[in-house]
């Protein structure tokens, strides 16, 4: 059962553009929503995370928007840079157990 659906599967953005990745979840028990960044040959690394009691969280160029009623959340990368090219995973967590989306491969063209 896919509890976290992520889209798009791949994304190509020009340098300086905005990258947007979306996720939807089913289980309303989830109460923590992290985003991870993964480079080839490396493990995922936490980028930014949000709890459902807030609708938005911003850290530098990265913003999470959260819509509890729609059970959706998204990652926005402003002023995208070639160094942001990586695979991004959303996740939904409850009681320390995380369920991951299938990932979005982002390519930022210079």
Partner 1 sequence: EAGVVQSPRYKIIEKKQPVAFWCNPISGHNTLYWYLQNLGQGPELLIRYENEEAVDDSQLPKDRFSAERLKGVDSTLKIQPAELGDSAVYLCASSSEGGKHNEQFFGPGTRLTVL
Question: Which residues make up the interface to partner 1 (CB under 8 A)?
Answer: 4, 6, 31-32, 34, 36, 41-46, 49, 51, 89, 91, 93, 95-98, 100-103
Instruction: Report the nearest approach of partner 1 to the CB of residue 46 (Å).
Output: 5
Cβ–Cβ < 8 Å for 13, 4: no
> What does DSSP say about strands 33-38 and 72-77: parallel, antiparallel, or unpaired?
unpaired
Instruction: Report the nearest approach of partner 1 to the CB of residue 72 (Å).
Output: 17
Question: Is the CB of 46 or the CB of 54 nearer to partner 1?
Answer: 46
Question: Is the CB of 17 or the CB of 93 nearer to partner 1?
Answer: 93
C-alpha distances (whole Å) from 102 to each of 4, 23, 57, 75, 85 are 8, 10, 22, 15, 16
């Amino acid at each position: 059962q896919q509890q976290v659906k992520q889209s798009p599967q791949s994304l190509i953005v020009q340098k300086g553009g905005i990258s947007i990745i979306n996720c939807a979840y089913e289980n309303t028990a989830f109460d923590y929503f992290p985003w991870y960044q993964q480079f080839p040959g490396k493990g995922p690394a936490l980028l930014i995370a949000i709890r459902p009691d807030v609708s938005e969280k911003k850290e530098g160029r990265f913003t999470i928007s959260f819509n509890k009623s729609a059970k959706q959340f998204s990652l926005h990368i402003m002023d995208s840079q070639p160094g942001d090219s990586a695979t991004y995973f959303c996740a939904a967590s409850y009681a320390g157990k995380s369920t991951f989306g299938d990932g979005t491969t982002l390519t930022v063209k210079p």
